[in-house]
Homo-oligomer: A and B are copies of this chain.
Amino acid sequence: MTGRVLLLVEGAVAQVTLSHPGKLNAMSRAMWGALREVFVQLQQRSDVRCVVVSGEGGSFCAGGDISEYPDFRFQQEALRNFHEDEVWAGLQSMLDCDLPLIAQIEGNCMGAGMEIACCCDLRFAGASARFGAPIARLGFPMAPREAALVGRVAGELTAREMLLAATVLDSATMLQRGFLNRMAGDDVLASLVAETAARVAQLGPQAARLNKQSFRAFALGGREMTAIHSIAKPYAYAESAEHREGVTAFLEKRSPHFQA
């Protein structure tokens, strides 16, 4: 038993749950592989319209599973493979997913937890959650791709503070820094996220996919001048049923109904 990543689909909302009992859901190597499998699968499913990512038992993710580290970290090629293949493949599968992803963050959100949260589109946290990447205490840096990810999403100020000073920040600070969309009482976080996910799931799914593709291009450095090249057929949706239904419903003053 080295941890799992659980997938549960209820209606149009998928729940992805990091589960590593007794380790605050620290990511084992097996879990990085499982994370990738779950998101590759989600990307194929046309019935899912929103994904909630959370951790089991009141913790989001406490980082990597350090008990595994002596087996591979002290050899350069093994370390490279771990970061570039295993970890990044998991994160990349999240970044490549065209569905809206909501992080529901309780308890510890450290190291790998920060990276997973950075791959989500929206981030909601409980008031008592804690955020950081204090791996300089363990004598190692964040891998370059992962540092670029956290720098981009959490901002340089926060990423540098977490990595260079090993500072752990609370939810109120992460809200103020623009990392969280909302902070909620720990006891109401799950219901707030569920409500939001249900709302997201009723919006146009094609619109979400196209917006995610635009944001992906932006995240990789695209700006206004290059954005038109970021999506293969940015206006092919013109003639779609979803587009017509949304505009028509508005003009007819009724709620739209979007088929997947």
Contacts and interface: CB of A to CB of B under 8 A. Distances in A.
Interface string A153-167: 101110111011111
A83 B100 CA distance: 24
If over half of A's interface residues share one DSSP class (helix, strand or loop), that class is named, otherwise mixed; here it is helix
Given A148-B224, A200-B165, A225-B220, A83 B246 contact: no
Interface stretch (A1-9, A22-30, A104-112, A175-183): A175-183
A214 B142 contact: yes
Contacts of A157: 122-123, 178-179, 181
A66 to B, nearest CB: 6
Interface in A177-229: 177-179, 181, 196, 199-200, 203-204, 206-208, 210-212, 214-215, 217-228
- The oligomer's copy count stands at 3
A220 B214 contact: no
A244 interface: yes
A108 to B, nearest CB: 15
B140 A66 contact: no
Nearest to A76: B238
B234 A140 contact: no
Given A121-B164, A139-B242, A149-B224, 12 more contacts: A77-B235, A78-B238, A100-B165, A122-B160, A122-B161, A136-B204, A138-B247, A141-B210, A141-B214, A144-B217, A148-B217, A175-B176
Interface of A: 66-67, 69-70, 73-80, 83-84, 95, 100, 121-123, 135-145, 147-149, 151-153, 155-157, 159-161, 163-167, 175-179, 181, 196, 199-200, 203-204, 206-208, 210-212, 214-215, 217-228, 230-231, 234-240, 242-248, 250-251, 256, 258
